[in-house]
Amino acid sequence: MRLGLLTACFPELSLEEVAEWAADNGYASLEAAAWPAGSDHPHDAAHLDAEFPQQEAERVQELLDRLGLTVSAVVYCENNLHADTEERDRIHRHLRACVETAAALGVSYVSTFVGRDVTRSVADNLRLAERLLPPLVDYAGERGVRLLAENCPMEGSHPDGYPGNLAYSPELWEWMSDLGLLLDFDPSHLPWLGIDAEDALEFALERGLVAHAQAKDVEVDTRLRTRYGVFGRTVGRASPVDAGWWSYRVPGRGRLDWNRIVDILHKARYTGTLAVEHEDPVWGGTAEHTKQGLRIAARTLLPLVSPGDPAPQRR
């Protein structure tokens, strides 16, 4: 197993800067963000150009080889069932470009969202996904790439903060796999949904659904949950993601048992990447705070992911 990081937490840094910092701080792999340049979302970044020429692929590979890093997945998590058909088509075009980038770099996975048309019922969305997603899966497969879906509920995509990504529960992971998408497993989303993260991981591994894994923690205030309810605050809600009773944290600063989670992965003989996704409001806001949060995550996870192994050395 390799410890990685999702590069989206460093939108202001170049790929070279992120890669060099990662290699110097115990990380062996990058889950490389490939959103279109110019996105103003705080968790989007364009560290890989989704339409780069072969010469650029050679430059990126040379950088990775020099630092002893790999790219575990190309990431473009967007709403593939967007209600606006023009926006949906744009998202699909960029997702296909990400597949081309992954193929050029020899990367096996592109991670995305299923998404949701918020103007339709869940049942109608399932039928929509069954029509729209298989052609994207086939496009990737023809190029030796597998599409993954992260299990983030994407409550920010729904005007009321309800699930905006139909990949949030183990029931939907099996449905997704029937469409050809495997799972980019992130345990942090599960506790606040009332799902046991360890049990869900064992369920997914037993069925061969997990191709890639992320490491993010969650802090839950049960007293505030009693006040607001599981759907979160209503009066004074600043944004769809402002639930008021839970927040994401770096591994080691939340409630998840990383000894157990990593042990479950080892038990299943998982040999892929466990990539830290940094969305911690305490250790965020600036590049230096973000780096400190990632150091905390590395100190928490490195002894578990590669017990007894030294941190990778720069070449």
> Tens digit of pLDDT per residue, the chain (315 long)?
999 999 999 999 999 999 999 999 999 999 999 999 877 776 789 999 877 777 889 999 999 999 999 999 999 999 999 999 999 999 999 999 999 999 999 999 999 999 999 999 999 999 999 999 999 999 999 999 999 999 999 987 888 778 889 999 999 999 999 999 999 999 999 999 999 999 999 999 999 999 999 999 999 999 999 999 988 898 988 887 889 999 999 999 999 999 999 999 999 999 999 999 999 999 999 999 999 999 999 999 999 997 555 444 443
- Position 262: which residue type? V
11 vs 22: CA distance, rounded Å? 15
CA distances to 37, 134, 187, 263, 303 from 3, in Å: 27, 31, 16, 14, 10
CATH number for the domain spanning 179: value is 3.20.20.150
**In residues, how long is the chain?**
315
Please report whether residue 159 resides in a domain: yes
Outline where DSSP puts E strands in 151-242: 182-185, 210-215, 217-220
Task: Please give the pLDDT value at position 279.
Answer: 95
Half-sphere exposure at residue 252, Cβ-oriented, CA atoms within 13 angstroms: 16
Strands 217-220 and 246-249, by their bridges, are: antiparallel
The secondary structure of residue 160, as a DSSP letter, is T
Distance of CA 111 to the CA centre of its chain: 7
48 vs 290: CA distance, rounded Å? 20
Please report whether residue 219 resides in a domain: yes
264 vs 28: CA distance, rounded Å? 21
Cβ proximity of 198 and 257 under 8 Å = yes
| Count of domains observed in the chain | 1
pTM (predicted TM-score): 0.94
Task: Please give the pLDDT value at position 314.
Answer: 43
Q: Hey, is 149 helix, strand or coil?
A: strand
Please report whether residue 314 resides in a domain: no
Strands 273-276 and 210-215, by their bridges, are: parallel
Give, rounded to a whole angstrom, the gap between the first and last alpha carbons of the chain. Answer: 21
Please report whether residue 311 resides in a domain: no
Residue 180 domain boundaries:
2-305
310 vs 241: CA distance, rounded Å? 39
Task: Please give the pLDDT value at position 42.
Answer: 67
User: What is the secondary structure of 74-128 as a DSSP string?
Assistant: EE----TT-SSHHHHHHHHHHHHHHHHHHHHHT--EEEE-----TTS-HHHHHHH
Please report whether residue 70 resides in a domain: yes
CA distances to 85, 115, 118, 179, 212 from 80, in Å: 10, 5, 12, 14, 20
Please report whether residue 226 resides in a domain: yes
Please report whether residue 310 resides in a domain: no
Please report whether residue 175 resides in a domain: yes
Task: Please give the pLDDT value at position 155.
Answer: 83
Q: Hey, is 290 helix, strand or coil?
A: helix
